[in-house]
Protein backbone atom coordinates (compact mmCIF):
# COMPACT_ATOMS: atom_id res chain seq x y z
CA UNK A 1 0.00 0.00 0.00
CA UNK A 2 1.15 3.49 -0.80
CA UNK A 3 1.70 5.68 2.23
CA UNK A 4 2.98 9.16 2.81
CA UNK A 5 6.03 9.88 4.90
CA UNK A 6 5.15 13.46 5.70
CA UNK A 7 8.50 14.74 4.43
CA UNK A 8 7.17 16.25 1.20
CA UNK A 9 4.64 19.00 0.63
CA UNK A 10 2.46 16.45 -1.12
CA UNK A 11 2.63 14.12 1.84
CA UNK A 12 1.90 16.82 4.36
CA UNK A 13 -0.98 18.22 2.34
CA UNK A 14 -2.51 14.78 2.06
CA UNK A 15 -2.11 14.26 5.79
CA UNK A 16 -3.80 17.53 6.55
CA UNK A 17 -6.60 16.96 4.04
CA UNK A 18 -7.21 13.51 5.46
CA UNK A 19 -7.04 14.79 9.01
CA UNK A 20 -9.77 17.31 8.24
CA UNK A 21 -11.80 14.74 6.33
CA UNK A 22 -11.66 12.40 9.32
CA UNK A 23 -12.75 15.13 11.73
CA UNK A 24 -15.69 16.08 9.54
CA UNK A 25 -16.63 12.41 9.09
CA UNK A 26 -16.48 11.53 12.77
CA UNK A 27 -17.37 14.78 14.57
CA UNK A 28 -19.84 16.56 12.30
CA UNK A 29 -21.30 19.07 12.33
CA UNK A 30 -18.03 20.83 13.01
CA UNK A 31 -16.83 24.36 12.27
CA UNK A 32 -13.57 25.49 10.69
CA UNK A 33 -12.59 27.06 14.02
CA UNK A 34 -13.12 23.76 15.83
CA UNK A 35 -11.06 21.95 13.18
CA UNK A 36 -8.20 24.43 13.62
CA UNK A 37 -8.36 23.94 17.38
CA UNK A 38 -8.38 20.14 17.13
CA UNK A 39 -5.64 19.84 14.50
CA UNK A 40 -3.33 22.66 15.51
CA UNK A 41 -3.39 23.96 11.92
CA UNK A 42 -3.83 27.68 11.25
CA UNK A 43 -7.28 28.97 10.36
CA UNK A 44 -5.97 29.92 6.92
CA UNK A 45 -4.68 26.40 6.21
CA UNK A 46 -7.92 24.89 7.44
CA UNK A 47 -9.93 27.32 5.32
CA UNK A 48 -7.95 26.48 2.18
CA UNK A 49 -8.14 22.72 2.69
CA UNK A 50 -11.83 22.84 3.60
CA UNK A 51 -12.57 24.76 0.41
CA UNK A 52 -10.61 22.17 -1.53
CA UNK A 53 -12.50 19.28 0.11
CA UNK A 54 -15.78 21.04 -0.71
CA UNK A 55 -14.69 21.47 -4.34
CA UNK A 56 -13.68 17.80 -4.51
CA UNK A 57 -17.15 16.84 -3.27
CA UNK A 58 -16.07 15.19 0.00
CA UNK A 59 -17.58 17.65 2.45
CA UNK A 60 -20.28 20.33 2.40
CA UNK A 61 -21.54 23.18 4.50
CA UNK A 62 -24.69 22.43 6.43
CA UNK A 63 -27.18 24.36 8.52
CA UNK A 64 -25.75 26.49 11.27
CA UNK A 65 -25.35 24.96 14.70
CA UNK A 66 -28.00 25.85 17.32
CA UNK A 67 -25.69 28.40 18.97
CA UNK A 68 -25.21 30.39 15.80
CA UNK A 69 -28.82 30.39 14.61
CA UNK A 70 -29.59 33.48 16.66
CA UNK A 71 -26.77 35.51 15.07
CA UNK A 72 -28.50 37.58 12.37
CA UNK A 73 -26.99 37.42 8.90
CA UNK A 74 -24.37 34.86 9.78
CA UNK A 75 -23.56 32.44 6.98
CA UNK A 76 -23.76 28.69 7.59
CA UNK A 77 -20.34 27.65 8.78
CA UNK A 78 -20.72 24.08 9.98
CA UNK A 79 -19.37 21.21 7.92
CA UNK A 80 -20.48 17.65 7.29
CA UNK A 81 -19.86 14.86 4.78
CA UNK A 82 -21.40 15.82 1.43
CA UNK A 83 -24.52 14.09 0.13
CA UNK A 84 -22.57 13.42 -3.05
CA UNK A 85 -19.32 12.27 -1.45
CA UNK A 86 -17.60 8.97 -2.29
CA UNK A 87 -18.82 5.98 -0.28
CA UNK A 88 -17.76 2.65 1.16
CA UNK A 89 -19.41 -0.74 0.83
CA UNK A 90 -19.71 -2.84 3.98
CA UNK A 91 -20.38 -6.59 3.99
CA UNK A 92 -21.31 -8.64 7.06
CA UNK A 93 -20.99 -12.43 7.10
CA UNK A 94 -22.84 -14.23 9.88
CA UNK A 95 -24.30 -17.67 10.40
CA UNK A 96 -27.74 -17.43 8.77
CA UNK A 97 -27.38 -13.91 7.39
CA UNK A 98 -25.40 -11.88 4.86
CA UNK A 99 -25.80 -8.09 4.83
CA UNK A 100 -24.39 -5.53 2.40
CA UNK A 101 -24.60 -1.78 2.86
CA UNK A 102 -23.41 1.37 1.15
CA UNK A 103 -22.49 4.15 3.54
CA UNK A 104 -20.62 7.44 3.46
CA UNK A 105 -17.40 8.13 5.35
CA UNK A 106 -19.38 9.21 8.42
CA UNK A 107 -20.82 5.69 8.68
CA UNK A 108 -24.29 6.85 7.63
CA UNK A 109 -26.04 4.03 5.77
CA UNK A 110 -27.40 5.06 2.36
CA UNK A 111 -28.77 1.74 1.19
CA UNK A 112 -28.74 -1.84 2.40
CA UNK A 113 -29.69 -5.34 1.39
CA UNK A 114 -29.59 -8.71 3.10
CA UNK A 115 -30.13 -12.42 2.56
CA UNK A 116 -31.20 -14.76 5.34
CA UNK A 117 -30.47 -18.46 4.94
CA UNK A 118 -31.14 -21.59 6.92
CA UNK A 119 -29.73 -24.16 4.52
CA UNK A 120 -26.20 -25.44 4.25
CA UNK A 121 -23.98 -23.15 2.17
CA UNK A 122 -20.58 -23.33 0.54
CA UNK A 123 -17.94 -20.77 -0.40
CA UNK A 124 -19.30 -20.27 -3.93
CA UNK A 125 -22.81 -19.54 -2.59
CA UNK A 126 -21.40 -17.08 -0.06
CA UNK A 127 -19.36 -15.17 -2.66
CA UNK A 128 -22.21 -15.20 -5.21
CA UNK A 129 -24.67 -13.93 -2.62
CA UNK A 130 -22.43 -11.09 -1.47
CA UNK A 131 -21.81 -10.08 -5.08
CA UNK A 132 -25.51 -10.25 -5.95
CA UNK A 133 -26.41 -8.02 -3.00
CA UNK A 134 -23.57 -5.63 -3.87
CA UNK A 135 -24.52 -5.36 -7.54
CA UNK A 136 -28.18 -4.79 -6.65
CA UNK A 137 -27.21 -1.86 -4.43
CA UNK A 138 -24.76 -0.52 -6.99
CA UNK A 139 -27.38 -0.44 -9.73
CA UNK A 140 -28.40 3.18 -10.22
CA UNK A 141 -26.02 4.31 -7.47
CA UNK A 142 -24.16 7.29 -8.91
CA UNK A 143 -21.67 8.00 -6.11
CA UNK A 144 -18.13 6.68 -6.25
CA UNK A 145 -17.36 3.61 -4.14
CA UNK A 146 -13.86 3.79 -2.68
CA UNK A 147 -13.44 0.42 -0.97
CA UNK A 148 -15.14 -2.59 0.57
CA UNK A 149 -14.93 -3.63 4.20
CA UNK A 150 -15.93 -7.17 5.21
CA UNK A 151 -16.87 -8.00 8.78
CA UNK A 152 -17.03 -11.74 9.38
CA UNK A 153 -17.28 -14.42 11.99
CA UNK A 154 -13.88 -15.82 12.82
CA UNK A 155 -11.38 -17.23 13.06
CA UNK A 156 -9.87 -15.28 10.21
CA UNK A 157 -6.60 -13.74 9.12
CA UNK A 158 -7.14 -10.04 8.52
CA UNK A 159 -3.64 -9.63 7.05
CA UNK A 160 -4.24 -12.12 4.23
CA UNK A 161 -7.98 -11.44 4.05
CA UNK A 162 -8.80 -15.10 4.63
CA UNK A 163 -11.72 -16.62 6.52
CA UNK A 164 -10.06 -19.62 8.20
CA UNK A 165 -12.45 -22.20 9.61
CA UNK A 166 -15.31 -20.77 11.68
CA UNK A 167 -16.95 -23.44 13.87
CA UNK A 168 -20.39 -24.59 12.73
CA UNK A 169 -20.03 -22.68 9.45
CA UNK A 170 -20.62 -25.63 7.15
CA UNK A 171 -17.45 -26.66 5.34
CA UNK A 172 -16.22 -23.17 4.55
CA UNK A 173 -12.53 -22.83 5.33
CA UNK A 174 -9.45 -21.00 4.09
CA UNK A 175 -11.57 -18.71 1.93
CA UNK A 176 -9.48 -15.78 0.56
CA UNK A 177 -12.54 -13.55 0.61
CA UNK A 178 -10.86 -10.16 0.11
CA UNK A 179 -8.90 -11.20 -2.97
CA UNK A 180 -12.00 -12.83 -4.51
CA UNK A 181 -14.29 -9.84 -3.87
CA UNK A 182 -11.57 -7.37 -4.84
CA UNK A 183 -11.00 -9.18 -8.14
CA UNK A 184 -14.71 -9.26 -8.93
CA UNK A 185 -15.35 -5.61 -8.04
CA UNK A 186 -12.02 -3.97 -8.83
CA UNK A 187 -12.09 -2.32 -5.40
CA UNK A 188 -9.65 -2.55 -2.47
CA UNK A 189 -11.08 -4.87 0.14
CA UNK A 190 -10.40 -5.29 3.86
CA UNK A 191 -11.39 -8.04 6.31
CA UNK A 192 -12.03 -7.76 10.04
CA UNK A 193 -13.36 -10.05 12.77
CA UNK A 194 -16.97 -9.05 13.63
CA UNK A 195 -16.37 -8.17 17.29
CA UNK A 196 -13.28 -6.14 16.39
CA UNK A 197 -15.44 -4.43 13.77
CA UNK A 198 -17.91 -3.54 16.51
CA UNK A 199 -15.12 -2.00 18.58
CA UNK A 200 -13.84 -0.02 15.60
CA UNK A 201 -17.35 1.24 14.79
CA UNK A 202 -17.71 2.47 18.36
CA UNK A 203 -14.28 4.13 18.25
CA UNK A 204 -14.82 5.98 14.97
CA UNK A 205 -18.52 6.72 15.07
CA UNK A 206 -20.05 5.75 18.39
CA UNK A 207 -19.78 5.96 22.16
CA UNK A 208 -16.11 4.94 22.05
CA UNK A 209 -15.09 8.31 20.56
CA UNK A 210 -14.74 9.77 24.04
CA UNK A 211 -12.79 6.86 25.57
CA UNK A 212 -9.10 6.14 25.00
CA UNK A 213 -9.46 2.58 26.28
CA UNK A 214 -12.52 0.35 26.26
CA UNK A 215 -13.83 -3.13 25.53
CA UNK A 216 -16.64 -3.77 23.07
CA UNK A 217 -18.60 -6.88 24.02
CA UNK A 218 -20.83 -8.44 21.37
CA UNK A 219 -23.36 -10.91 22.75
CA UNK A 220 -25.45 -11.99 19.78
CA UNK A 221 -24.87 -15.34 18.03
CA UNK A 222 -21.91 -16.16 20.22
CA UNK A 223 -19.81 -13.88 22.37
CA UNK A 224 -16.88 -11.84 21.11
CA UNK A 225 -14.95 -8.83 22.29
CA UNK A 226 -12.90 -6.10 20.69
CA UNK A 227 -10.41 -3.98 22.60
CA UNK A 228 -9.43 -0.38 21.94
CA UNK A 229 -6.20 0.44 23.75
CA UNK A 230 -4.56 3.86 23.64
CA UNK A 231 -7.10 4.98 21.04
CA UNK A 232 -6.34 2.13 18.65
CA UNK A 233 -8.01 -1.17 17.95
CA UNK A 234 -5.84 -3.95 19.33
CA UNK A 235 -6.42 -6.81 16.90
CA UNK A 236 -3.60 -9.13 17.82
CA UNK A 237 -1.13 -11.01 15.66
CA UNK A 238 -3.41 -11.61 12.65
CA UNK A 239 -6.62 -9.85 13.61
CA UNK A 240 -7.99 -12.61 15.79
CA UNK A 241 -7.91 -11.01 19.23
CA UNK A 242 -10.96 -10.79 21.47
CA UNK A 243 -12.19 -14.41 21.42
CA UNK A 244 -13.59 -14.02 24.91
CA UNK A 245 -16.30 -16.60 24.17
CA UNK A 246 -13.52 -19.18 24.11
CA UNK A 247 -11.90 -18.28 27.39
CA UNK A 248 -12.51 -20.96 30.00
CA UNK A 249 -14.73 -20.22 32.98
CA UNK A 250 -14.65 -23.85 34.20
CA UNK A 251 -11.43 -25.88 34.10
CA UNK A 252 -13.37 -29.11 34.64
CA UNK A 253 -16.08 -28.25 32.13
CA UNK A 254 -16.89 -29.95 28.83
CA UNK A 255 -14.54 -29.75 25.87
CA UNK A 256 -15.40 -27.04 23.38
CA UNK A 257 -15.17 -27.36 19.57
CA UNK A 258 -12.26 -24.91 19.76
CA UNK A 259 -10.17 -27.40 21.77
CA UNK A 260 -10.38 -25.60 25.11
CA UNK A 261 -12.51 -26.81 28.05
CA UNK A 262 -15.30 -24.97 29.85
CA UNK A 263 -15.48 -22.10 27.36
CA UNK A 264 -17.77 -19.16 28.17
CA UNK A 265 -19.94 -19.81 25.10
CA UNK A 266 -20.77 -23.30 26.40
CA UNK A 267 -22.55 -21.64 29.34
CA UNK A 268 -23.68 -18.21 28.18
CA UNK A 269 -26.01 -19.20 25.36
CA UNK A 270 -29.70 -19.38 24.48
CA UNK A 271 -30.02 -23.13 25.23
CA UNK A 272 -28.80 -22.56 28.75
CA UNK A 273 -31.22 -19.64 29.21
CA UNK A 274 -34.10 -21.81 27.99
CA UNK A 275 -33.09 -24.52 30.48
CA UNK A 276 -33.06 -21.97 33.27
CA UNK A 277 -36.52 -20.72 32.32
CA UNK A 278 -37.86 -24.30 32.11
CA UNK A 279 -36.50 -25.16 35.55
CA UNK A 280 -38.24 -22.16 37.12
CA UNK A 281 -41.43 -21.75 35.10
CA UNK A 282 -43.66 -23.66 37.54
CA UNK A 283 -42.93 -20.95 40.12
CA UNK A 284 -44.01 -18.16 37.75
CA UNK A 285 -47.01 -19.45 35.77
CA UNK A 286 -48.02 -15.88 34.96
CA UNK A 287 -44.86 -15.21 32.99
CA UNK A 288 -45.31 -15.00 29.23
CA UNK A 289 -42.18 -17.14 28.90
CA UNK A 290 -43.52 -20.08 30.90
CA UNK A 291 -45.89 -21.34 28.16
CA UNK A 292 -43.16 -22.72 25.89
CA UNK A 293 -39.75 -22.26 27.54
CA UNK A 294 -37.97 -24.49 25.02
CA UNK A 295 -38.77 -22.09 22.17
CA UNK A 296 -38.20 -18.78 23.94
CA UNK A 297 -36.06 -16.45 21.84
CA UNK A 298 -33.29 -14.06 22.85
CA UNK A 299 -35.49 -11.16 21.70
CA UNK A 300 -38.36 -12.31 23.95
CA UNK A 301 -36.07 -12.68 26.98
CA UNK A 302 -34.61 -9.18 26.48
CA UNK A 303 -38.05 -7.67 25.88
CA UNK A 304 -39.67 -9.32 28.91
CA UNK A 305 -36.68 -8.68 31.17
CA UNK A 306 -37.08 -4.98 30.36
CA UNK A 307 -40.62 -5.30 31.77
CA UNK A 308 -39.25 -7.00 34.91
CA UNK A 309 -40.59 -10.47 34.10
CA UNK A 310 -39.03 -12.67 36.82
CA UNK A 311 -38.27 -15.63 34.55
CA UNK A 312 -36.59 -13.46 31.95
CA UNK A 313 -34.60 -11.66 34.64
CA UNK A 314 -33.46 -14.96 36.20
CA UNK A 315 -32.27 -16.33 32.85
CA UNK A 316 -30.56 -13.10 31.95
CA UNK A 317 -28.87 -12.74 35.32
CA UNK A 318 -27.38 -16.22 35.04
CA UNK A 319 -26.23 -15.39 31.50
CA UNK A 320 -24.57 -12.20 32.79
CA UNK A 321 -22.99 -14.16 35.66
CA UNK A 322 -21.13 -16.32 33.17
CA UNK A 323 -20.08 -13.35 31.05
CA UNK A 324 -18.86 -11.44 34.05
CA UNK A 325 -16.43 -14.25 34.99
CA UNK A 326 -14.63 -13.75 31.69
CA UNK A 327 -14.97 -9.97 31.64
CA UNK A 328 -13.50 -9.60 35.13
CA UNK A 329 -10.33 -11.27 33.85
CA UNK A 330 -10.23 -9.04 30.77
CA UNK A 331 -10.78 -5.80 32.72
CA UNK A 332 -8.22 -6.77 35.34
CA UNK A 333 -5.63 -7.78 32.74
CA UNK A 334 -6.01 -4.64 30.66
CA UNK A 335 -6.98 -2.15 33.39
CA UNK A 336 -10.15 -1.10 31.59
CA UNK A 337 -13.13 0.68 33.11
CA UNK A 338 -15.44 0.99 30.10
CA UNK A 339 -17.42 -1.78 28.41
CA UNK A 340 -19.74 -1.09 25.48
CA UNK A 341 -22.21 -3.95 25.03
CA UNK A 342 -23.75 -4.67 21.62
CA UNK A 343 -26.98 -6.65 21.09
CA UNK A 344 -30.45 -6.02 19.71
CA UNK A 345 -32.75 -4.58 22.33
CA UNK A 346 -35.77 -2.29 22.57
CA UNK A 347 -35.20 1.26 23.80
CA UNK A 348 -36.21 0.54 27.38
CA UNK A 349 -33.73 -2.29 27.83
CA UNK A 350 -31.64 -2.06 30.97
CA UNK A 351 -31.07 -5.48 32.63
CA UNK A 352 -27.91 -6.65 30.84
CA UNK A 353 -26.03 -3.44 31.57
CA UNK A 354 -27.36 -3.34 35.14
CA UNK A 355 -26.42 -6.97 35.89
CA UNK A 356 -22.95 -6.60 34.35
CA UNK A 357 -22.37 -3.32 36.14
CA UNK A 358 -23.29 -4.84 39.52
CA UNK A 359 -21.21 -7.97 39.00
CA UNK A 360 -18.13 -6.24 37.60
CA UNK A 361 -18.22 -3.44 40.18
CA UNK A 362 -17.99 -6.03 42.92
CA UNK A 363 -15.09 -7.99 41.45
CA UNK A 364 -12.81 -5.88 39.25
CA UNK A 365 -9.76 -4.86 41.26
CA UNK A 366 -9.76 -1.22 40.18
CA UNK A 367 -13.54 -0.77 40.54
CA UNK A 368 -13.46 0.74 44.05
CA UNK A 369 -11.15 3.50 42.81
CA UNK A 370 -12.95 4.64 39.70
CA UNK A 371 -16.34 4.42 38.05
CA UNK A 372 -17.03 1.51 35.71
CA UNK A 373 -18.98 2.47 32.59
CA UNK A 374 -21.15 -0.34 31.22
CA UNK A 375 -22.92 1.15 28.19
CA UNK A 376 -25.31 -0.14 25.57
CA UNK A 377 -23.95 0.27 22.03
CA UNK A 378 -25.49 3.19 20.17
CA UNK A 379 -25.69 0.81 17.18
CA UNK A 380 -27.73 -1.69 19.20
CA UNK A 381 -26.69 -5.03 17.62
CA UNK A 382 -25.38 -3.49 14.40
CA UNK A 383 -21.90 -2.35 15.42
CA UNK A 384 -20.20 -5.22 13.50
CA UNK A 385 -22.04 -4.11 10.33
CA UNK A 386 -21.04 -0.45 10.78
CA UNK A 387 -17.57 -1.77 11.56
CA UNK A 388 -17.36 -3.11 8.01
CA UNK A 389 -17.53 0.53 6.90
CA UNK A 390 -15.16 1.61 9.67
CA UNK A 391 -12.39 -0.85 8.70
CA UNK A 392 -12.21 0.62 5.19
CA UNK A 393 -12.64 4.21 6.41
CA UNK A 394 -9.79 3.67 8.84
CA UNK A 395 -7.53 2.69 5.93
CA UNK A 396 -8.40 5.99 4.26
CA UNK A 397 -8.01 8.05 7.43
CA UNK A 398 -4.63 6.45 8.19
CA UNK A 399 -3.42 7.18 4.62
CA UNK A 400 -2.96 3.51 3.76
CA UNK A 401 -5.58 3.94 1.05
CA UNK A 402 -4.96 7.24 -0.81
CA UNK A 403 -8.14 8.82 -2.12
CA UNK A 404 -6.89 12.23 -3.23
CA UNK A 405 -5.37 12.72 -6.64
CA UNK A 406 -2.29 14.89 -6.02
CA UNK A 407 -2.28 18.34 -7.59
CA UNK A 408 0.50 19.07 -10.09
CA UNK A 409 2.31 21.59 -7.89
CA UNK A 410 2.41 19.21 -4.93
CA UNK A 411 5.46 17.26 -6.03
CA UNK A 412 8.06 19.57 -4.55
CA UNK A 413 9.92 18.19 -1.57
CA UNK A 414 10.61 19.98 1.67
CA UNK A 415 12.19 19.24 5.02
CA UNK A 416 9.48 20.48 7.30
CA UNK A 417 9.53 18.80 10.70
CA UNK A 418 6.36 17.12 11.84
CA UNK A 419 4.54 18.74 14.73
CA UNK A 420 2.60 16.70 17.21
CA UNK A 421 -1.06 17.24 16.75
CA UNK A 422 -4.02 17.49 19.06
CA UNK A 423 -5.44 14.20 20.21
CA UNK A 424 -7.92 12.83 17.70
CA UNK A 425 -10.20 9.85 17.77
CA UNK A 426 -8.43 6.86 16.30
CA UNK A 427 -4.92 7.56 17.45
CA UNK A 428 -2.30 10.23 17.47
CA UNK A 429 -1.50 11.91 14.20
CA UNK A 430 0.60 14.77 12.98
CA UNK A 431 0.12 17.97 11.07
CA UNK A 432 2.13 20.84 9.71
CA UNK A 433 0.72 23.88 7.93
CA UNK A 434 1.33 23.74 4.19
In the complex, which residues of this chain contact Zn ion (CB under 5 A)?
246, 256, 258, 260, 263
Shortest distance (Å) from residue 220 CB to Zn ion:
17
Question: Are 377 and 353 spatial neighbours (Cβ–Cβ below 8 Å)?
Answer: no
Least Cβ distance, residue 196 to Zn ion (angstroms): 18
**Least spacing, CB of residue 327 vs Zn ion, in Å:** 16
State the minimum distance, in angstroms, from the CB of residue 255 to Zn ion. 8
From CA 95, how far away is CA 292, in angstroms rounded? Answer: 25
CA dihedral 412, 418, 422, 426 (to 10 degrees): 80
Strand, coil or helix: 94 = strand
69, burial (CB in 10 Å: exposed 0-12, middle 13-18, buried 19+): exposed
Closest to 191 measured CA to CA, from 145, 238, 236: 238
What end-to-end distance do the CA atoms of the chain give, in Å? 24
Integer-rounded Cα radius of gyration of the chain: 23
CB 258, min distance to Zn ion, A: 3
CB of 265 to Zn ion, least distance (A): 6
Nearer to Zn ion, 246 or 359 (CB): 246
Residue placing its CB nearer to Zn ion in the complex, 263 or 328: 263
List all residues 6 or more positions away from 427 whose beta carbon is below 8 Å from its beta carbon.
230, 231, 232, 398
Smaller CB distance to Zn ion: residue 58 or 169?
169
Nearer to Zn ion, 256 or 334 (CB): 256
Instruction: Return the number of the residue (31 or 196) whose C-beta is nearest Zn ion.
Output: 196
Long-range contact pairs involving 135-140 (C-beta distance under 8 Å, separation at least 24): 137/89, 137/100, 137/101, 137/102, 137/111, 137/112, 137/113, 138/102
In the bound complex, what is the minimum distance in angstroms from residue 194's beta carbon to Zn ion?
16
Helix (H, G, I), strand (E, B) or coil at 27: helix
Nearer to Zn ion, 15 or 218 (CB): 218
Nearer to Zn ion, 268 or 277 (CB): 268
Closer Cβ to Zn ion, 78 or 263, answer by number: 263
10 Å Cβ neighbour count for 337? 20
CB of 173 to Zn ion, least distance (A): 17
The Cα–Cα gap between 63 and 124 comes to 47
Amino acid sequence: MKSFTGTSIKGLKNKNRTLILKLVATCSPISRVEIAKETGLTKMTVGNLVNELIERGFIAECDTSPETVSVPGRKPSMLQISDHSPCICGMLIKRGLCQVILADLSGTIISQSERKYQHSIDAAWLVDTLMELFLNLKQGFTREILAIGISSIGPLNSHTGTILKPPFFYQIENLPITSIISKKTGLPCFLINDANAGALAEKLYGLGKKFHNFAYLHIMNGIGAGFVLDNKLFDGHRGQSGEIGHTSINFSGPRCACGNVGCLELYANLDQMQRRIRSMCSYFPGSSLSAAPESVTWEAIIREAGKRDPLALAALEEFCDYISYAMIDALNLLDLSTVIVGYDAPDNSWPVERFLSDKLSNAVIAAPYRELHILHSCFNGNAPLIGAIAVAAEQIFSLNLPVFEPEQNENESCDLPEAENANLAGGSTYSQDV
